[in-house]
Amino acid sequence: MKRILLPAGGAILATGMLAAGLAGTANANPDWAYDTMAKDAPSAVEVAKFWLAANEHTNNLAKAVPYTWETKATPKLNAGGGYTPDGKPGTIAPIGEEKKTAAKIKNINLPRTIGKVFFVDSEGGLKWCSATSIQSKYRNLVATAGHCVYDDKKNASVMDKWVFVPAYYQGKTPYGIFVGKQAYTHYDYSVYNDRDRDYAFVTVYNGVQIGGGTPKVVNKAAYDAFAGAKFSKDTAITAEEYQKTVDLHGGETSDAWAKAETIKDPVGSNYPGAVLALQEVSKDVYDKAPTGQGVSGAKAIWASGKPTYVTKSEYEAYTGPGYRKIDEKGNFTITKYFLKYWVKKTDVKSYYKTTFYVVDGFIQDTGSLGNAVGGQGFTWNQKTGQTVFAFGYPADAHPDGNKAYTGVTPKWTYGKTSGKVYVSAAEKVEEHVGLKSSFTPGADGGPWLVKYSNAKRLGYVNGVTSLFGDQDKNNRYDLITSPYFDGETATIYNKAAAVWSGSIVK
């Protein structure tokens, strides 16, 4: 993550020399700076593959966690003073309207423009923040917090492998993922980490999805090693097919097995005509069972201990001895455990073979971001005290440990912004806008929309969530703040909104 700033005028300056070299020079520092993310189509394709490399339950999107290290320990924000706009107010109209869609997503009642940005931080962690699609000339722009684009742990380096996923839900990408091309932010944030400028606008390439590749049958070893989309399927086979498979592998195999109603009279593996059958048991019983090839009553290791992702109805209907769990991302899982027994053929009710498939799909273009989901409008130098709707994916626990949100789906909060400014010396904040809210980290980067139309699900971005405060000191977040969007914010937006990106698929 090499850090190079390109200020207005085209001069290239290393970050370490920037502040010292220009300090005290009248009007030397521009309002804006930008960084290249995925520099070209091949680079962007590699980023897309990194996030889409596996199926929806195990891909890197599902493994990511909220980027909260900067916002967890926010000190008390002191209120006082008021705002003085630096010019006339201005607005840019939103694009598109919410339309009915065939996309199977759980959050269609909320703006499709709302989503998550995913990236790799300087520690190599898979992280995410909240963001939104915003209007631009080429319909290719994302608005979020500056700290969700620039990694302050590594000298304000731009985040690695940065993508935006609108309408994100449980690892699903209903409109594709949009790889970041260029990140624009205020010069003072990029160089000095000034949280009064904690916002960023990122141009993105056209969205991409993994296209419908043809499933290919592989053996168990190849299936376990494959990092892409994959699935397995149990199919009923005849007794003759079962015996052929067992003979082919010279005995016990994970490719064929039998199901017995109950294990009444097990036999040894050398019993004439003995058939390998599995019996589902609880984890406690499984843990106490022996291991070994050809041992009746031993652990069926190849069939046990791996969570299976199921629907909510399947989860609720399951009455077996397996372990049910709703994980931290809201996934419904059932983990089953099996012991293996050799039984007489007369005890067997059915035979099965497990077939393993991998899907090496191809990248397909899903179009520009604005065409896919629309884009919120943009406005600046607005008076405070207006009603705003703030959106995001709150996920972290409150300071007292209470976890009110999962981060699985976007949430909303609304109210009137305070007419006072919020100040925090520790966070280099002197004039943040405040909104009473119980949102927790994970929602940072999410948009604040004024003049929001619930019918169209469109409004005007007039802020992004930056900090979280506990004003009454009861260990519960009760305040979110945003930088004030003024004429300098409009300058950065206008620079980013006029930049073309295009497709990464040939």
Domain ranges of the chain: 4-211+364-497, 234-353
Residue 3 reports pLDDT greater than 50: no
The 10 Å CB-count burial string (b at 16+, else e) for 133-159 is bbbbebbbbbbbbbbbbbbbeeebbbb
pLDDT confidence of residue 212: 62
The CATH number of 4-211+364-497 is 2.40.10.120
pLDDT confidence of residue 101: 44
Which residue type does 227 have?
Answer: A
Which own/partner pairs from 5-10 qualify as long-range (CB within 8 Å, at least 24 positions apart)? 5/33, 5/35, 5/187, 5/190, 5/191, 6/33, 6/34, 6/35, 7/32, 7/33, 7/187, 8/32
pLDDT confidence of residue 393: 96
Model confidence at 14, pLDDT cuts 50, 70, 90, reads: very low
pLDDT confidence of residue 363: 78
The DSSP element (H or E) to which 16 belongs, if any, is helix 15-22
pLDDT, mean of residues 7-36: 46
Residue 57 reports pLDDT greater than 70: no
Which of 95-99, 340-344, 499-503 is predicted with the least confidence, judged by mean pLDDT? 95-99
Cα separation, 472 vs 170, in Å, equals 34
Model confidence at 156, pLDDT cuts 50, 70, 90, reads: low
pLDDT confidence of residue 379: 98
157's tokens = 């380096």
Residue 394 reports pLDDT greater than 90: yes
Coil, strand or helix at 445: coil
Side by side, the strands of the sheet bearing 447-453 are 90-92, 377-380, 458-464, 447-453, 387-392, 411-416
Place of tokens 């149990």: 234
Short-list 353, 357, 307, 362, CA closest to 505: 362
DSSP structure class, residue 132: E
pLDDT, mean of residues 50-73: 71
Residue 462 reports pLDDT greater than 80: yes
Cα separation, 171 vs 36, in Å, equals 26
Give the end-to-end CA distance of the chain in Å, rounded to a whole number.
27
50's tokens = 């990194």
The 10 Å CB-count burial string (b at 16+, else e) for 7-36 is beeeeebeeeebeeeeeeeeeebbbbbbbe
Following CA atoms 147, 148, 149, 153 in sequence, which dihedral angle do they give, to the nearest 10 degrees?
50
436's tokens = 């009473």
Residue 99 reports pLDDT greater than 60: no
149's tokens = 């684009």
Residue 18 reports pLDDT greater than 60: no
Dihedral (CA of 480, 483, 484, 485) sign: negative
pLDDT, mean of residues 457-478: 93
Cα separation, 35 vs 111, in Å, equals 28
Residue 418 reports pLDDT greater than 80: yes
pLDDT confidence of residue 26: 35
Q: To 5 degrees, how large is the angle CA 91–CA 97–CA 102? A: 150
Model confidence at 360, pLDDT cuts 50, 70, 90, reads: low
Beta bridge partners of 95: 375
Cα separation, 172 vs 114, in Å, equals 14
Rg (CA), the chain: 27
Q: What is the mean pLDDT of the chain?
A: 82
pLDDT confidence of residue 16: 30
398 vs 230: which has the higher pLDDT: 398
